[in-house]
Amino acid sequence: MLTREQVLVKKIKEWTGSSYIGDDCAVLADGKLVSSDTLVEGTHFRLDFTNWRQLGWKSCAVNLSDIAAMAGRPRYLTVALTLPAACPDLEQSLEQFYLGFTQCARAFGAEIVGGDLTVGPHFVVNVTAIGESHESGLLLRSGAQPGDVVVVTGTFGSSAAGLELLLQGDSASSLEGREELLLAHLEPQPRLAEALALVRLVGSRGALMDASDGLADALWQIAEQSQVDIEVELEAIPRSTVMSSFAQASGVNPYQWALYGGEDYELVATISADDWLKAQSLAGESFPFKKIGVVLASPPAPAVGELEGERVRLLASGESSNTFSGVVNLSNCFKHF
Amino acid sequence: MLTREQVLVKKIKEWTGSSYIGDDCAVLADGKLVSSDTLVEGTHFRLDFTNWRQLGWKSCAVNLSDIAAMAGRPRYLTVALTLPAACPDLEQSLEQFYLGFTQCARAFGAEIVGGDLTVGPHFVVNVTAIGESHESGLLLRSGAQPGDVVVVTGTFGSSAAGLELLLQGDSASSLEGREELLLAHLEPQPRLAEALALVRLVGSRGALMDASDGLADALWQIAEQSQVDIEVELEAIPRSTVMSSFAQASGVNPYQWALYGGEDYELVATISADDWLKAQSLAGESFPFKKIGVVLASPPAPAVGELEGERVRLLASGESSNTFSGVVNLSNCFKHF
C-alpha cells in the first residue's frame, strides 16, 4: 500500500511532466542539488516541546540531511517563515531560531542567502537547501544492485523514543539517558561527513537516501526505485540501549520505533560487496557504516495484488522469533501525511 | 517609519551574518539567482476568490517576478505545499493547481524540479525560484544614481482594484472592464521580457526591483538602498481607465491603489539619462517602459527624526492639487506583515 503522499507525488510528476521529482534532491543540469522541506507547528513540532534555538537547528538539519542523502555538499539555504500575527516575544524568539539555524548551517559549511517573512494563522517553517554534487559521484535511490550490501549510519528509533518521552512528560522525567533520546529528536545531526566518506569510497556505484520517514520506508524506496529486493537482519539494526529499555518500559516493541518511528536522520545505503570488503579494511572512524542486510534480484513481474512492501523482508535470526519479521508493512510508518 | 517586516529583515541580516539578504533575489557565487515566497490562505489568497488553476499560476508568477526584478532568466522552481488533512476534492484541486503553475512556468522558460507535501491546519504555498543572471548584467536595488530617469512597466493600481471587486462581490458584478482588474489580481504576468529588454540596453548601469509591495515601497527601497532621492510626477504614473473609474465609484482616490495597493507585479527601474535617450529612439515595443520621475542627489546626513519616506517625493503637476503629493507615506502601504 502506497501512502497518500506517495500517491500524490506520483500524480504531481504526471501533472508537471517533471523528470526531476522522486529523490531526496533534484539534480540540476550543472550538478547542483535542490531540496525543499516544510515544518508545520502541531504536525512536525510543538513549541512546548522544543525551544526556538532547537527548532532553528532542526529546520536546518533536516534540509542538510537531504543533501547528505545525495552524498553532496550543502552550500546555500533559504528560510521562509509564516508567523502568527500575535506571536509573543517575536523578536527574541526569532533571534533564537536564527541562532540555532545559523549554528547548524555553519557547522556543515552552508549559509543563509534569503527567505521570506509572512503572517499566517499558524507557524510554518519552509527551507530550501542548495548543494553541490561531490566530484567523486552522485548516489541516488535507484542505484542498488543484486549482491550489494545494505549499510546504515548511527542508531534507529531514538528520535521516536525522544518524542514519546516528550509526550509522556513528567512521568518519564527520571529516565536515565533521556537527554540522548531528546537530542536525537530535537537536535538531529545531518550525516554529511558520513556521506562524503561513502562517496569517496564508492563513487556513483551504490544507492543512498536518508531515513527521515523511517528505516522501513527508506529500505522500501531504495528497493522499489532500484527494482530489487532487500533482506535485512532485524537484530543487525543498530539501536541504542536507552531506546530499547525505554521502549520496553513504555510497552512498545523497540523494532516499531527503529523501523517505523521516523525522524532518525541517518543514512541508508547499498554498496557493492567489493566496496564493503574495502570498507572493512579501513578503520571504523573513516567508514562509519554498519551492515544490516543484502540486496537480492527481484523475481520477474510481481504477482497481481502483491503488496509493495514485499520488496523488503525482515529476518529474525537464530531461535528468537520476532513479531516484526516478515515483509515490511508501510502502513506501520508514522506518517505526517 | 519602517514596516515591521523591514525591521525584522534588518535584524535577520545581523543574526545570520548573511551578506546575501536585501534584494529581490540572492545572487550566488556562480551568478545564480534564488528567491523564496510564501502565499498563505487568508493572508494572500482566499479560495472563494480564486480557483486552484489561478492560484497555481499566481504562486509561480510572483516568484518569477523576483527573478525579473534582477533582470535574470528563471530556470527552476520548487513547490512546497501545506494542505489541510480534510481538504475536499484534494486530488482534483491539486491537479488544477499544478496545471496553472506548470502553464506559467513553461510560458517563461522555467520548470518544477521538486518540492514537499505536508499536512497542516491551513493551506500554505511556498515556492523557491532559481534563475540565472543575464550575460549583459545584473540590476540591483542599489544601483540608482543622481541624474537617472525613473521608468516603469505596465499600469498600477489594477490589482488592488481587482481585490476590491472581489470583496464587493455581487454589487460590482456589472462593472464594465471588470475582467481586466480581476486578471491583474488573480493572474499577474511576470515582466521577464521587459526585464531582458532593459538589461540588454543598460547592462548593470541602473537599479531595478518589482513593485510587489506597491509602487511607493519600490521607489523607497531603491532610493534607500542607493542613498539617493527620487521625485515622481504623480500624473505620469500609468493607470488603467477602468481602475480609475472603479476607484472613484468606490470612493477611493485612484492614487491610493496605484501607489500603495501592492501586488502589481510591474518593474520599477532607474536608468541613465543617456540610456533613456537611446530607449526613446527604439520602438515602444522593444522598450516597454514609461518615465515617471527622476533621481536626485540626497542631501548629506538626514536630519535626526527625518522620516524614511522623505527620500521619495510625489509631485502634482499643473494646477491640480492632489492629496497624494508630498513625501511617500509607507504606513499607507497595504502590507501583509
Query: pLDDT for A195-239, tens place per residue?
Result: 999 999 999 999 999 999 999 999 999 999 999 999 999 999 999
A103 touching chain B per CB within 8 A: no
A121–B121 CB contact, under 8 Å: yes
Number of Cβ pairs < 8 A linking chain A and chain B: 202
Q: Report d(CA B250, CA B172) in Å as an integer.
A: 10
DSSP type of residue A21: B
HEC profile for chain B? CCCHHHHHHHHHHHHHCCCCECECCEECCCCEEEEEEEEEECCCECCCCCCHHHHHHHHHHHHHHHHHCCCCEEEEEEEEEEECCCCCCHHHHHHHHHHHHHHHHHHCCCEEEEEEEEECCCCEEEEEEEEECECCECCEHHHCCCCCEEEECCCCCHHHHHHHHHHHHHHHCCCCCHHHHHHHHHCCCCCHHHHHHHHHHHCCCEEEEECCCCHHHHHHHHHHHHCEEEEEEHHHCCCCHHHHHHHHHCCCCHHHHHHHCCCCCCEEEEECHHHHHHHHHCCHHHCCCEEEEEEEECCCCCCCCCCHHHHEEEECCCCCCCCCCEECCHHHCCCCC
Whether the CB-CB separation of B266 and B156 falls below 8 Å is answered with: yes
What is the average pLDDT across A40-55? 93
Q: Using CA atoms in the order A17, A21, A27, A32, what is the torsion angle rounded to 10 degrees?
A: 100
Q: What is the pLDDT of residue B285?
A: 67
Could you please report the per-residue DSSP string of A243-271? HHHHHHHTT--HHHHHHH------EEEEE
A116–B43 CB contact, under 8 Å: no
What type of residue is A250?
S
B11–A91 CB contact, under 8 Å: yes
What is the average pLDDT across A156-180? 91
Unique residue bearing C-alpha cell 541517518: A266
Of A44-58, A288-302, B144-158, B233-247, give the lowest mean pLDDT range. A288-302
Q: For residue range B96-107, what is the model confidence (pLDDT) as tens digits? A: 999 999 999 999
- Chain B: residue nearest A94 by CA? B12
Q: What is the pLDDT of residue A281?
A: 87
With beta carbons under 8 A apart, name residues in chain B contacting A78: 26, 34-36, 128
Q: What is the pLDDT of residue B336?
A: 44
Unique residue bearing C-alpha cell 562509519: A288
A121 falls in which pLDDT band (50, 70, 90)?
confident
Phi, psi of A228, deg, nearest 5: -135, 175
Select from A71, A149, A155, A81 the least CA-distant residue to A118.
Answer: A81
Q: Tell me: pLDDT of A244 over 90.
A: yes
Beta pairing, strands B73-83 & B111-119: parallel
Q: Tell me: pLDDT of A307 over 60.
A: no
A46 touching chain B per CB within 8 A: no
Residue B174 C-alpha, separation from nearest chain A C-alpha, in angstroms: 33
Mean pLDDT by runs of 10 across the 337 residues of chain B is: 76 89 91 95 92 97 98 97 86 95 97 91 94 97 98 97 92 86 97 97 97 95 95 96 95 95 96 95 81 92 58 79 80 58
Whether the CB-CB separation of A228 and A147 falls below 8 Å is answered with: no
A86 touching chain B per CB within 8 A: no
**Cβ contacts of residue B122 below 8 Å, gap of 6+?**
A120, A121, A122, B40, B41, B42, B82, B84
- Chain A: residue nearest B100 by CA? A16
Q: What is the pLDDT of residue B308?
A: 57
* Chain-centre distance for alpha carbon A247: 20
Among the partner residues A18, A80, A90, nearest to B36 by beta-carbon distance? A80
With beta carbons under 8 A apart, name residues in chain B contacting A126: 36, 38, 80, 116, 124, 126
Q: Report d(CA A189, CA B182) in Å as an integer.
A: 48
**Cβ contacts of residue A297 below 8 Å, gap of 6+?**
A146, A228, A229
DSSP type of residue A143: G
Q: Tell me: pLDDT of A148 over 70.
A: yes
Q: What is the pLDDT of residue B9?
A: 87
A318 falls in which pLDDT band (50, 70, 90)?
low
A116 touching chain B per CB within 8 A: yes
A33 touching chain B per CB within 8 A: no
With beta carbons under 8 A apart, name residues in chain B contacting A21: 112-115
A18–B112 CB contact, under 8 Å: yes
Whether the CB-CB separation of A166 and A49 falls below 8 Å is answered with: yes
To the nearest whole percent, how much of chain A has pLDDT over 90?
72
pTM: 0.91
Q: What is the pLDDT of residue B121?
A: 87
B82–A38 CB contact, under 8 Å: yes
Q: What is the pLDDT of residue A1?
A: 54
B10 touching chain A per CB within 8 A: no
